[in-house]
Chains A and B, each alone.
Chain A
Amino acid sequence: DAGVIQSPRHEVTEMGQEVTLRCKPISGHNSLFWYRQTMMRGLELLIYFNNNVPIDDSGMPEDRFSAKMPNASFSTLKIQPSEPRDSAVYFCASTLNESPLHFGNGTRLTVT
């Protein structure tokens, strides 16, 4: 099993640009989560999906953030326009029913 796959591993972009982060969950998992990790705020849950449907997006900070899950094997998190305060490590995780979460290696985003 390849685990949760995220791309890119690193992203450096200028303020105002659109950023798209990608995630491929573990095959067969039915829930997918997007987290953001910063020194100041720790690990924040942004949004999670169950069976490709967004269940809770209360953690999405602003309208500049959007997430989609068009099918069971792919999800995107988009920031448009990006700002320096969006700089963080973004983790994707997946799970099946009540099993523990499996995390991807994360995308380190730097917005200058």
Chain B
Amino acid sequence: AQSVSQHNHHVILSEAASLELGCNYSYGGTVNLFWYVQYPGQHLQLLLKYFSGDPLVKGIKGFEAEFIKSKFSFNLRKPSVQWSDTAEYFCAPRGTNTDKLIFGTGTRLQVFP
């Protein structure tokens, strides 16, 4: 069975601070990995994805994530956050032989100017 754990439930940062959100997953096979973002009052949108190849994946708005297979991790990073990054962030693994996408509990990010 697949599962995902996001360690940070609520993160508060000032603008220009660096961000790292943790994500660990459990799955007995090859996975694709996703980060989604949900801005206040909106639906989820894809931030970035990892399918194969370079484990360092770059997404929209300056976000990146690194897949570390040995640690079953896919942490999200951004070197300098902006107020507009205030949102909830969800990590989601998916086995390559299934469509089923399970989301983590989410991390709420608040960025203050």
A interface, CB within 8 angstroms of B: 31, 33, 35, 42-43, 45, 48, 50, 55-56, 91, 93, 95, 98, 100-101, 103-106
Residues of A within 8 A of B96 (CB): 98
Find the residue from B46, B101, B104 having the highest chain A CB count within 10 A: B101
Whether a CB of chain A sits under 8 angstroms from the CB of B82 is no
Residues of A within 8 A of B103 (CB): 35, 42-43, 45
Q: Which of A43, A48, A91, A106 contacts B100 (CB 8 A)?
A: A48
For chain B, the count of residues having a C-beta within 8 Å of the partner chain is: 19
The secondary structure that dominates the B interface is loop
Residues of B within 8 A of A100 (CB): 34, 46, 49
Find the residue from A33, A43, A93 having the highest chain B CB count within 10 A: A43
Number of cross-chain contacts by CB at 8 Å: 44
- Bound Cα distance from A56 to B95, whole angstroms: 14
A98 and B51 contacting across the interface, CB-CB below 8 Å? yes
A42 and B44 contacting across the interface, CB-CB below 8 Å? no
Residues of B within 8 A of A95 (CB): 99
- Bound Cα distance from A100 to B34, whole angstroms: 8
- 7 closest cross-chain pairs (CB), A and B: A43-B103, A103-B43, A42-B105, A31-B99, A100-B46, A103-B44, A105-B43
